[in-house]
């Protein structure tokens, strides 16, 4: 039969394992999407800035 301390240790292990699992899902799926969107927006802003500079020169 399990004692209460072993049960708490098992629950702590499950909580830590589950948190690690969801953290990995977040890091693998959401963070690259976020970084990619930021880079895309940066390139769009740079392109618009170049366009405006060309229009001002001509």
pLDDT in tens, 1-48: 668 888 898 899 999 999 999 999 999 999 999 999 999 999 999 999
- For residue 35, the 8-state DSSP code is H
pTM for this one? 0.59
What are the E-state strand segments in the chain? none
Residue whose token pair is 């072993």? 6
């Amino acid at each position: 039969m399990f004692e209460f301390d072993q049960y708490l240790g098992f629950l702590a292990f499950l909580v830590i394992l589950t948190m690690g699992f969801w953290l990995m899902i977040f890091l693998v799926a959401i963070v690259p999407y976020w970084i990619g969107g930021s880079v895309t927006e940066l390139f769009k802003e740079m392109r618009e800035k170049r366009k405006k500079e060309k229009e001002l020169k001509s």
